[in-house]
């Protein structure tokens, strides 16, 4: 199946042909626990000596089907689904970091991730930020306390793109793994593990689900990083698993102990939502490109989108994203007041804080997603008082373009 196209793999991959009674979708195991014929049978499951499920916080057949599907798309060794994208990030980090350890991260992170890293500071896990996360930054910032390099493949909403191969090489030179949040890229645009990353993280609430009906996250491990267990003390109890120590600790320890499990119903809804991921991303990227190019012709707003001529990360989009720009673009309207006028004048776009929906969604990030973030942190993430983030949907492109053009025109009239 590895030689087929993306959507063919989605629909006919090896993990989609083994459901009970010949079902073409996994059944929803909406249960708390699973019964066994004898205590000896259950004991073997708990000891990982026999396959099976015991308790949904630890594992569930529906969730497992979803994990296997995304793992296959990403080309990973194994995956763990969580209750949200933030749960995926914190679970992955706590699997490899403990008090006194440091993370190198890009400054242009999603506001919620920045807030999470502030919380990790209280646990003794310090984050060192690079204004531009690249190989040189990793080499200059790494210390004997560094345990991890973390970045967003396409940063939200600044739209910086990681040079994953170069970044992975630099991280590995320092003896640490590269974890990539690929939520905004999706496995349709890029597969970070194939580019050198060691784990890929998604908020599955976004593009993978697509319908805006389920919160979730997932961690996919490449299973190829050679862990130094004297350095990564958080994994020292799993050294017998070698390169699979991270995945083993995720599954058998930190994930279960934190209780960050995904619900069976959300896993099912996201499983079926993913069926159309390739089709949706084609349309979303096409719409976003058309909208960005038309809005860039307007003289009094500034448009940020990866496929626009002269974009500083255009080369990376060509090389790593197949020339596609993803579903996010941002506008700078000149003032907070005008940004609000544009948003409030839109007829089709919904004012909402999610992204990756079928519908076009808009938000003013400075007053919402970055409300707990300092002004300096927000601006490094590409968020200013006049920034509008647009998550483009699958509407007819002509309607989207006209909607935004009329909203921009209304904002001019009101300003005058």
Which CATH number is associated with domain 277-415? 3.90.1150.10
Would you state the structure tokens that stand for residue 315, as one six-digit string? 């080369």
pLDDT in tens, 13-68: 887 777 888 888 999 999 999 999 999 999 999 888 898 999 999 999 999 999 99
Alpha-carbon distance of 403 to 200, in angstroms, equals: 36
CA angle 187, 72, 169 (to 5 degrees): 60
- Residue position matching structure tokens 């720009």: 325
Would you state the structure tokens that stand for residue 284, as one six-digit string? 């979303």
Collect all residues with Cβ–Cβ distance below 8 Å to 122 and sequence separation of at least 6: none
Sheet holding 302-304, edge to edge: 302-304, 328-332, 387-391, 361-363, 350-351
Task: Please tell me if the domain spanning 6-273 has the same topology as the one spanning 277-415.
Answer: no
DSSP string, 394-405: SS-HHHHHHHHH
Asked if 258 contacts 94 with a C-beta cutoff of 8 angstroms, the reply is yes
Say whether the peptide bond before residue 157 is cis (omega within 30 degrees of 0): yes
Residue-level length of the chain: 416
Alpha-carbon distance of 379 to 158, in angstroms, equals: 9
Would you state the structure tokens that stand for residue 333, as one six-digit string? 């309207």
In the predicted structure, residue 416 carries a pLDDT above the cut 70: no
Say if residue 346 is exposed, middle or buried (CB neighbours under 10 Å; 0-12, 13-18, 19+).
buried
Alpha-carbon distance of 79 to 250, in angstroms, equals: 9
DSSP string, 188-224: HH--HHHHT-SEEEEETTTTTT-SS----EEEEE-S-
Confidence band, pLDDT 50/70/90 cuts, at residue 345: very high
**CA dist 11 to 189, 210, 324, 363, 399, Å?**
18, 16, 23, 33, 31
Alpha-carbon distance of 197 to 77, in angstroms, equals: 13
- Report percent pLDDT > 90 for the chain: 88
Query: How confident is the model at residue 414, as a pLDDT?
Result: 66
**CA dist 286 to 90, 290, 324, 388, 402, Å?**
33, 6, 8, 20, 16
pLDDT in tens, 285-339: 999 999 999 999 999 999 999 999 999 998 888 899 999 999 999 999 999 999 9
Alpha-carbon distance of 373 to 333, in angstroms, equals: 21
Lowest mean pLDDT among 16-25, 103-112, 304-313, 348-357: 16-25
The residue extents of the domains of the chain are 6-273, 277-415
In this structure, what DSSP letter does residue 22 have? G
**Top-confidence residue, 1 or 179:** 179
Which CATH number is associated with domain 6-273? 3.40.640.10
């Amino acid at each position: 199946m590895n030689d087929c196209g993306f959507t063919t793999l989605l629909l006919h991959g090896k993990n989609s042909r083994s459901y009970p009674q010949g079902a073409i979708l996994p059944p929803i195991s909406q249960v708390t626990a699973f019964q066994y014929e004898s205590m000896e049978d259950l004991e073997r499951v708990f000891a990982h000596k026999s396959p099976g499920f015991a308790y949904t916080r630890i594992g569930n057949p529906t969730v497992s089907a979803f994990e296997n599907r995304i793992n296959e798309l990403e080309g990973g060794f194994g995956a763990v689904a969580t209750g949200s994208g933030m749960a995926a990030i914190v679970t992955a980090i706590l699997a490899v970091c403990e008090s006194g350890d440091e993370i190198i991260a890009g400054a242009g992170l999603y506001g919620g991730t920045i807030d999470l890293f502030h919380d990790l500071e209280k646990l003794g896990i310090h984050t060192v930020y690079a204004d531009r996360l690249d190989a040189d930054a990793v080499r200059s910032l790494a210390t004997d306390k560094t345990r991890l390099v973390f970045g967003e493949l396409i940063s939200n909403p600044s739209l910086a793109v990681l040079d994953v191969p170069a970044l992975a090489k630099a991280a590995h030179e320092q003896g640490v793994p590269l974890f990539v949040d690929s939520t905004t890229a999706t496995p349709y645009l890029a597969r970070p593990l194939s580019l050198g990353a060691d784990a890929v993280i998604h908020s599955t609430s976004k593009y993978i689900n697509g319908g805006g009906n389920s919160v979730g996250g997932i961690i996919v491990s490449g299973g190829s990083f050679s862990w130094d267990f004297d350095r990564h003390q958080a994994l020292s109890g799993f050294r017998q698993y070698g390169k699979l120590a991270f995945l083993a600790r995720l599954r058998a320890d930190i994930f279960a102990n934190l209780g960050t499990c995904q619900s069976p119903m959300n896993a099912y809804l996201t499983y079926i939502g993913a069926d159309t991921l390739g089709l949706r991303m084609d349309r979303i990227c096409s719409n976003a490109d058309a909208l960005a190019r038309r809005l860039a012709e307007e003289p009094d707003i500034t448009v940020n989108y990866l496929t626009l001529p002269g974009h500083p990360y255009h080369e990376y989009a060509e090389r790593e994203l197949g020339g596609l720009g993803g579903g996010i673009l941002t506008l700078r309207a000149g003032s907070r007041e005008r940004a609000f006028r544009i948003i409030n004048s839109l007829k089709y776009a919904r004012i909402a804080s999610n992204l990756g929906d079928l519908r076009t969604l808009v938000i003013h990030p400075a007053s919402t997603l970055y409300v707990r973030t300092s002004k300096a942190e927000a601006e490094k993430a590409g968020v200013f008082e006049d920034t509008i983030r647009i998550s483009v949907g699958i509407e007819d492109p002509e309607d989207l373009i006209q909607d935004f053009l009329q909203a921009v025109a209304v904002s001019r009239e009101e300003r005058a």
